Amino acid sequence: MRPLDRRSVVASLGVAAIVALIAWLYARTERSDSLAITVCAQLYAKAATRADTIRIDGQVPLQREESQLNPLACGALRSAYPRRFVRTSP
């Protein structure tokens, strides 16, 4: 048996790292929720009172198909991704 070539080991590790990165990006739930998060963030930005914010918490930002059971409301998205809903001062 001959020892493994150093370049082939490095190349194999590089390919494995790239595949792992791509799998990680596709597995993140934030990626699939990003459009709904954007819609909710825009709604919250326009809210003038606490009553508006409470009303927005219950809204479902996107129409879901029948096969998708639990649509996320804006309040659930705000709880799951708090950094995306940080309000900046004008």
End-to-end CA distance of the chain: 68
Write down the pLDDT at residue 36.
86
Specify if 1 maps to a domain: no
Confidence at 89, pLDDT banded by 50, 70, 90: low
Specify if 47 maps to a domain: yes
| Tally of domains within the chain | 1
Tens-digit pLDDT profile for residues 45-73: 998 999 999 999 988 887 766 666 567 88
Average pLDDT, the chain: 82
Mean pLDDT for 3-15 is 85
Q: Indicate the residue type of 35.
A: L
Distance of CA 12 to the CA centre of its chain: 30
Mean pLDDT for 9-26 is 88
Kindly list the distances between the CA atom of residue 57 and the CA atoms of 39, 45, 64, 67, 76, in Å, as whole numbers in the listed order.
12, 13, 17, 23, 8
Specify if 90 maps to a domain: no
Nearest to 71 by CA among 47, 40, 49: 40
Write down the pLDDT at residue 69.
56
Specify if 20 maps to a domain: yes
Q: Provide the residue range defining the domain that includes 66.
A: 6-85
Specify if 26 maps to a domain: yes
